[in-house]
A and B are shown apart, each in its own frame.
Chain A
Amino acid sequence: MNGSLQIMLVDDEPIVGKRLKPALAKYGLEVEVFEDGPGALRRLREKEFDIVVTDVRMEDVDGMQVLEYVLANSKRTKVIIITGYATVEVAREALVKGAFDFIAKPFKPDDLRAVIDRAAKALGHPGIRKSDD
């Protein structure tokens, strides 16, 4: 698979997107950041992303709903769930609904990069490298 990976990042804490977007862009990833579920869902209607990274706990529309929406509309998209509190229920639910993986807050940009790299490979992508490599 060629071309840059299209990533959606959904987290209602603005700081998360602000920090992660530039960190991921360094790897040649095209990242769109959303701070609310409804906004993310609107965008998902327009565009198919390769990977969606979403916080699980959000107002209005939570991460599970985003996950469900994504997989109902694009089976190939990989969804990574960010959990602030890792509970068994959340994990089971995410597995049942077909999330690709989880990442627990707090995490470093590099941790997320590693998860995204795995998802990219599962998509048949050679994996991500720093674009200036």
Chain B
Amino acid sequence: MRFKPRGVSGDSTRIDPIHRRSRILRRFLAANSELLELMADLETDLNHLEPGESHIRQPILRLLEGSLLLAENLNLLTRDRHKALYDAQRTIEKEVRGYLSAAAPSADRPLVIPLDKASSGKVRDVGGKAARLGELRVVMSEIVPPGFVISTSAYRLFLERNNLHEQIRGLLKDLSFITERDLFRERTATVRSLVEASPVPREVAEAIANGIMQFPLPWPSHWAVRSSAVGEDGRLSFAGQFDSFLNVPRDELQDAYRKVIASRYADRAVLYRLAGGFTEVDTPMAVLFMPMLDAQSAGVLYTRDPADESADLMLINSVHGLADQLVQGRALADIFVASRSQPWKVVDQQLATRPKMLTTTVEDGGDRTAPSESCDGPSLCGEDLRLLVEIGLKIERRFGRPQDIEWVLTKEGRLMVVQARPLRTEHRPVHGGQSVEVRNALMEGGVTIFPGRTVGPAYVARTSEQLAEAPERAILVVEDATPEIGAAVPFLAGLISERGNPGGHAATLAREFGVPSLFGVEGAIDLLQTGQVLSIDATHRKVFEGALWPEVEERVEVRMRRARTGESVGPLHDWLLTLNLTDPLSVSFRASKCRSVHDIIRFAHEKVVAAVFDLGDEAVTRGQKAVRLDSKVPLGLTVMDLGGAFPKTDKPRRSLTPEEIDSRPFQALWRGIADPAVSWAGRSRVSVSGFASVMVKSVTDPYGSIRQLGERNYLIVSPEYLNLNARLAYHFAMVDAFVCEVPENNYVNFRFRGGAASAERRDLRARFLAEVLLNSKFGVNRRGDLVTGWLRRHSRNESEEGLALLGRLMACARQLDMLMDNKGALDRCVERFLEGNYQEFA
């Protein structure tokens, strides 16, 4: 794609004004389309790449150049009526270029950073986990073990050297977990094996070696290798979403590094990012290396009771040996509840019986599970408990909020902290001192993980497959709260588990997404049945049958909507892709209000089309200005003649019938639109982009208000040319065609991008269009939900057939959302359409 800054002024002034206009317009529309395509690409790129990378720089510069060209063309057409657009463009360009030059190429950043030097200021280099730990190590070096971080720059280098960026993007592109679970799993597995098969670049291997060599001799022989993603432990915790490896021998550290990186593409991690609205750029991966501690016991400390922040209590989970079984939710822990304030005491304790522990005895070669006689007693005793509470309070003071701390008690009796992150707690007062429900509870008991009430149908999942099928808004009932449920959590109404620890990852996720949850509800999986409507009062640990609190369902809905909407992905997105000028009728639809390249494109398009109409008035003295299209198919179209398409009349007319328009491509398109087999009947007002529930504003539409039903949609015609443009914010339907007797000159272009539906449905719609077009001689390109189809150099007949097909497609595609909700339905719709059976779409 190239934008040649050929101004309109280059054209000879002697040229027939009609042709001149037509040429300007066609060129403008072509550039406009290309820019929109660039933006669609960039939208994906901004999610995957760092701004410093050339993959992103090039299209951005082209976008800036292209927007300037649009501004120029517009001003040439309007005799500088929109000069303010230059200023707006200049401001945006300056900001963008400034940002790009400040984004240091990742090559300049260090690959290895000692934990002592990792602090929150370096979070983009070292990730969340390492940054917090690094900060603690500076102030409390005696309780935080030393270590080193292989930075996010190393991660990028790893991807770059192995050419993984493109491959990963290709594999994850357009993936839908809902409609193609197997394919989804297959693809993420492919990504992981790609990563694991890629050599660690020499520089990264050296960085790991240098990290080890910062330790005094003899270098530690066994290490803990943990993920530390950017964004991790921040807004969302990513609890348990990435793998950590313990007891890794020194000579296998490179392998472990690769495995941690690969875990970034575990199914649940990818889903979690999707659900949390995270983008790939938000979450590059750093990896933290720490020598293994010889653990006597380990566990998790919550400096507040997550279920009731106001209580003056700390919660301590503890197991013999390492804590990984505990956080995976697979081992039962001893639970201690301790008072936070003096005089310090354990107010409650619950000892678990455990058959096994994960030994860490380095001399034993590490990673084996072996029974140990020391398992019999409690895993933590008085003095250590007291020390732990003190440490917890100290760390909490340091970070200024309650903490979720992973700790280790070494065999030498030293308490060490290996992770600290903000604890999600629920501050709201528990409604009433006691449950007001008089009706008998179906089940009672368990541990409150996240309090509150919820209502929904039960969904009992006994296997991973069933878990993957968990529907939105369900109350998930499982035997064990493993991190595997992470992907489902954001969309759940509630969660009941027979097992699982309050300190586990699943619990963290439930709190994060505010899902009322009970763990330790024995017998739930057998007693509760899929489909049974339940009401849970997690605060009072009661499960009722039936829908007790209808107002609660609404709250669930709001929460889920929030989980789905992502946030702005940064300043580049704001300056390039965000559309602020959404309403052409608004007073703020002005050149000076353009804040992004997208605004400039939108504004210029609107004004160029208007200008061409005005020019039409000037140039064609006896011709028609824009007229309404009068037909039984109520499309609300305003038609403009580029010259020769309207009947010659003495008196200007306000409307024309389709038959009166002398335009080959239009007649062909109309043949499809008005095909008796496709029914438009009964629809009093149908938008021209009928394709398009684009007319309907959706909750997921980030572009705000769009052109309303009944506003003008433009159709521009000449005897051989047609441009139908229903341009709605970022969502648009466009047909652009030139049809004459010379095949060499003929083309039909079609472009569609639609919003107003969930990502899943947009995806299905795009696929439907793509498949129908592909099966109808069209060349097709689909990027996300942008579908481009074209016929080039086809005979007049074939081109007209193509246009007729587009017409029928417009009529049918509008019902698609109602018809398709899965891949099977998609295939059926494509088949029906191609057979010429349009009944279903009526």
Contact B205 A124 (CB under 8 A): no
Contact A98 B365 (CB under 8 A): no
Residues of B within 8 A of A92 (CB): 206, 209-210, 213
**Min C-beta distance of A3 to chain B, whole Å:** 17
Task: Tell me whether B221 is interfacial, beta carbon within 8 Å.
Answer: yes
Contact B213 A99 (CB under 8 A): no
Q: Which of A53-100 contact B (CB under 8 A)?
A: 78-79, 88, 91-92, 95-100
Q: How far is the CA of A118 from the CA of B210 in the complex (A)?
A: 23
Residues of B within 8 A of A100 (CB): 249-251
Candidates B206, B221, B366; contact of A101 at CB < 8 Å: B221
Contact A95 B249 (CB under 8 A): no
Candidates A88, A99, A124; contact of B365 at CB < 8 Å: A124
Contact A122 B365 (CB under 8 A): yes
Q: Between A and B, how many residue pairs show CB distances below 8 Å?
A: 45
Chain B's interface size range is 10 to 19
Contact A99 B210 (CB under 8 A): no
Candidates B202, B209, B366; contact of A95 at CB < 8 Å: B209
Task: Tell me whether B254 is interfacial, beta carbon within 8 Å.
Answer: yes
Whether A95 contacts B221 in the complex (CB less than 8 A), given A88-B213, A124-B365, comes out as no
Residues of A within 8 A of B251 (CB): 78-79, 98-101, 122
Task: Tell me whether B113 is interfacial, beta carbon within 8 Å.
Answer: no
Contact A95 B364 (CB under 8 A): no
Chain A's interface size range is 10 to 19
Q: How far is the CA of A78 from the CA of B252 in the complex (A)?
A: 10
Q: Which of B191-207 contact A (CB under 8 A)?
A: 202, 205-206
Contact A96 B209 (CB under 8 A): yes
Q: How far is the CA of A91 from the CA of B252 in the complex (A)?
A: 16
Q: How far is the CA of A32 from the CA of B210 in the complex (A)?
A: 33
Task: Tell me whether B475 is interfacial, beta carbon within 8 Å.
Answer: no
Q: How far is the CA of A131 from the CA of B120 in the complex (A)?
A: 55
Interface of B is mostly: helix
Task: Tell me whether A43 is interfacial, beta carbon within 8 Å.
Answer: no
Contact B213 A118 (CB under 8 A): no
**Min C-beta distance of A75 to chain B, whole Å:** 8
Task: Tell me whether B212 is interfacial, beta carbon within 8 Å.
Answer: yes
Q: How far is the CA of A78 from the CA of B385 in the complex (A)?
A: 41
**Min C-beta distance of A19 to chain B, whole Å:** 23
Task: Tell me whether A105 is interfacial, beta carbon within 8 Å.
Answer: no
Task: Tell me whether B363 is interfacial, beta carbon within 8 Å.
Answer: yes
Residues of A within 8 A of B213 (CB): 88, 91-92, 95
**Min C-beta distance of A88 to chain B, whole Å:** 7
Q: How far is the CA of A122 from the CA of B249 in the complex (A)?
A: 7
Residues of B within 8 A of A127 (CB): 365
| Chain A residue at smallest Cβ distance from B361 | A121
Task: Tell me whether B208 is interfacial, beta carbon within 8 Å.
Answer: yes
Residues of A within 8 A of B254 (CB): 98
Contact B209 A121 (CB under 8 A): no
Q: Which of B718-756 contact A (CB under 8 A)?
A: none
Residues of B within 8 A of A124 (CB): 365
- Report A91-126 CB contacts with B as 1/0, cut-off 8 Å: 110011111110000000000000000100111110
| Chain A residue at smallest Cβ distance from B222 | A122
| Chain A residue at smallest Cβ distance from B205 | A96
Q: Which of A91, A97, A100, A122 has the most CB of B within 10 A?
A: A122
Residues of B within 8 A of A101 (CB): 221, 250-251
| Chain A residue at smallest Cβ distance from B254 | A98
| Chain A residue at smallest Cβ distance from B206 | A96
| Chain B residue at smallest Cβ distance from A120 | B365
Q: How far is the CA of A88 from the CA of B219 in the complex (A)?
A: 13
Q: How far is the CA of A124 from the CA of B366 in the complex (A)?
A: 9
Q: How far is the CA of A88 from the CA of B221 in the complex (A)?
A: 18
Residues of B within 8 A of A95 (CB): 205, 208-209, 212-213, 250
Residues of A within 8 A of B202 (CB): 96
Q: How far is the CA of A92 from the CA of B250 in the complex (A)?
A: 12
Q: How far is the CA of A108 from the CA of B210 in the complex (A)?
A: 28
Residues of A within 8 A of B250 (CB): 95, 100-101
Q: How far is the CA of A92 from the CA of B207 in the complex (A)?
A: 10
Contact B365 A121 (CB under 8 A): yes
Residues of B within 8 A of A79 (CB): 251
Q: Which of B202, B209, B213, B364 has the most CB of A within 10 A?
A: B209
Residues of A within 8 A of B208 (CB): 95-96
Candidates A78, A91, A121; contact of B364 at CB < 8 Å: A121
A-side residues, CB < 8 A to B, are 78-79, 88, 91-92, 95-101, 118, 121-125, 127
Known: A79-B251, A96-B205. 18 other contacts (CB 8 A): A91-B209, A92-B206, A92-B210, A92-B213, A95-B208, A95-B212, A97-B205, A99-B251, A100-B249, A100-B251, A101-B221, A101-B251, A121-B363, A121-B364, A121-B366, A122-B251, A122-B365, A123-B365
22 interchain pairs, CB-CB under 8 A:
A78-B251, A88-B213, A92-B206, A92-B209, A95-B209, A95-B213, A95-B250, A96-B206, A96-B208, A97-B205, A98-B251, A99-B251, A100-B249, A100-B251, A101-B251, A121-B364, A121-B365, A121-B366, A122-B365, A123-B365, A124-B365, A127-B365
